C-alpha cells in the first residue's frame, strides 16, 4: 500500500469522522464472495437512508466511496492506497474524507453533525 494507509487505518479515521458504522460486508463467507471487505455508513443513520459512504479493502487497493441510493448519479470513489483508476484518483485520506463530507452535505443534508 502507498502512503502507509491501510484498511484498518482508514476504517478508524471514518469512525472518528462519522461514528459507528451502519454495517460491514465481509468477503468470502456468503453471496458477497466477490465483493471486497467493506464497512458502510448510511445517511441519515436512522430511517430511510439517502446516501451511503464505504471504506473498502479490495485486496490491492483501499478505497473510499460515496453514492446516493436509487439514483442515476455515478458513485464517487477515491483511492487511498494502491493503484488509482481513472474514476478513483489517488487521494490522501484526510482529503478524501473532506471530499466525501462535502459530497454528502450537498446531496444528503440530513446526514447529521
Q: What is the pLDDT of residues 25-55, one digit of tens each?
A: 765 555 555 667 888 888 876 667 788 999 9
Q: Give percent above pLDDT 90 in the chain.
A: 49
CB-based burial of residue 22 (10 Å sphere; 0-12 exposed, 13-18 middle, 19+ buried)? middle
pLDDT of residue 106: 85
Amino acid at each position: 500500500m502507498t502512503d502507509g494507509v491501510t484498511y484498518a487505518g482508514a476504517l478508524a479515521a471514518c469512525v472518528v469522522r462519522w461514528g459507528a458504522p451502519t454495517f460491514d460486508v465481509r468477503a468470502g463467507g456468503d453471496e458477497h464472495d466477490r465483493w471486497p471487505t467493506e464497512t458502510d455508513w448510511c445517511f441519515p443513520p436512522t430511517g430511510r437512508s439517502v446516501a451511503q459512504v464505504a471504506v473498502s479493502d479490495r485486496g490491492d487497493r483501499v478505497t473510499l466511496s460515496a453514492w446516493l441510493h436509487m439514483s442515476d448519479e455515478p458513485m464517487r470513489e477515491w483511492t487511498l492506497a494502491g493503484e488509482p483508476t481513472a474514476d478513483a484518483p489517488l487521494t490522501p485520506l484526510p482529503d478524501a474524507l473532506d471530499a466525501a463530507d462535502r459530497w454528502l452535505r450537498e446531496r444528503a443534508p440530513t446526514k447529521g453533525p
